[in-house]
Structure 1
């Protein structure tokens, strides 16, 4: 089994997780002002990506620019990985390629201390991407422990490009935010991702 084969019920059962649904889980995350570059990129290309309605178009024209904006606002002190193989524990099915991973290290040669897993929802189905995202979050937690860089909290996001939902993993508890963020407010999406960085030990391993 690979990350993209996990369903929500399977990750609960296999990893002994408790799933909690919570309103306004990231209510403390403030919207931020995004760059003119991101504003122009989304204005020009988001309608095209949504009209094409393919995973590749949404990934390249919407999701990647938003995630690159997060890296820019962190002054490139973090790294963003796209489509990287992330094999952590084959026996548990924690293998495969991740859509996107944020790491606390600025280097792009190796993944170090991953803190946020971002999964593009298949068939524009946010719920359908939850299992994969949580499996990647579990893998990130285990990977950090194996590297001697444990983090108390791992975050995740599932997105269709136009809709975003965020998650938090602490110990065996997964909290899913019932509040969705939408593409027409990119500052709110970037704000949550930045908040996650600041509340997970950011800077500890630089």
Structure 2
């Protein structure tokens, strides 16, 4: 078993996960304006990503530039991993590859203090990626506990590149934001990602 095998129902049983899915997690988060560089990249890439409409195209043309923007705005104090194996506890199925991981450490060689896991939605279906994302968040939580990283809240997102759904995990409580955020509200997406990292940095 691996991250992409989990459903939310399986996670509820195996990890005693408590799920809330009708909460507004980030309505009060301040938006952050993208740089002119990102605006130009998205303007050029968006029509192409939609036309190609594959996970690989959306990942390279939309998701990665947005995550690089977050890293840029935080002065490269975080690290970004893409398509990385993240085996935390295979005996519990907490193993496999994560599409993207953001960590609080600037070290790029190995994963340290993961805080945000991001999963690409298969067939542009956000709901289908929630179990995979939540299981990777549980793995990140366990990893941080093993490393004595005092990070109380883990964040996650399932995204098509144009549509972003955010989640949080505190202890065994998984909250799924009621709202989706779309790429035409890019400043809100960036604001949420930066808020997640900054709030976690303060908790360390």
Q: Which residue of 2 aligns with 1:50?
A: 50
Unaligned runs of 5+ in 2: none
- Using the TM superposition, give the Cα deviation of residue 64 of structure 1 relative to its aligned residue in structure 2, in angstroms: 0.4
- Using the TM superposition, give the Cα deviation of residue 80 of structure 1 relative to its aligned residue in structure 2, in angstroms: 0.6
Find out whether 1:131 has 2:134 as its counterpart: no
Q: Work out the CA distance in 2 between the residues paired with 1:21 and 1:46.
A: 29
- Using the TM superposition, give the Cα deviation of residue 24 of structure 1 relative to its aligned residue in structure 2, in angstroms: 2.1
Find out whether 1:82 has 2:77 as its counterpart: no
- Checking the alignment, whether the CA contact within 8 Å between 2:23 and 2:175 is kept in structure 1 is no
RMSD between aligned alpha carbons? 1.1
- Superimposed CA distance per residue, residues 77-121 of structure 1 (whole angstroms, 9 cap, x where no aligned partner): 000100111000010000111000000000100110000001111
TM-score (norm 2): 0.97
Q: Work out the CA distance in 2 between the residues paired with 1:140 and 1:180.
A: 23
Q: Which residue of 1 aligns with 2:154?
A: 154
- Superimposed CA distance per residue, residues 43-94 of structure 1 (whole angstroms, 9 cap, x where no aligned partner): 0011111111100000000000001111011100000100111000010000
- Using the TM superposition, give the Cα deviation of residue 37 of structure 1 relative to its aligned residue in structure 2, in angstroms: 1.0
- Checking the alignment, whether the CA contact within 8 Å between 2:152 and 2:203 is kept in structure 1 is no
Q: Which residue of 2 aligns with 1:191?
A: 191
Moved more, 52-61 or 190-199: 190-199
- Superimposed CA distance per residue, residues 19-39 of structure 1 (whole angstroms, 9 cap, x where no aligned partner): 101342111211111011110
Q: For this pair of structures, how many residues does the alignment match?
A: 204
Q: Which residue of 2 aligns with 1:13?
A: 13
Q: How does 1:38-187 map to 2 (within 5 A)?
A: 38-187=38-187
- Checking the alignment, whether the CA contact within 8 Å between 2:163 and 2:181 is kept in structure 1 is yes
Q: Work out the CA distance in 1 between the residues paired with 2:8 and 2:51.
A: 29
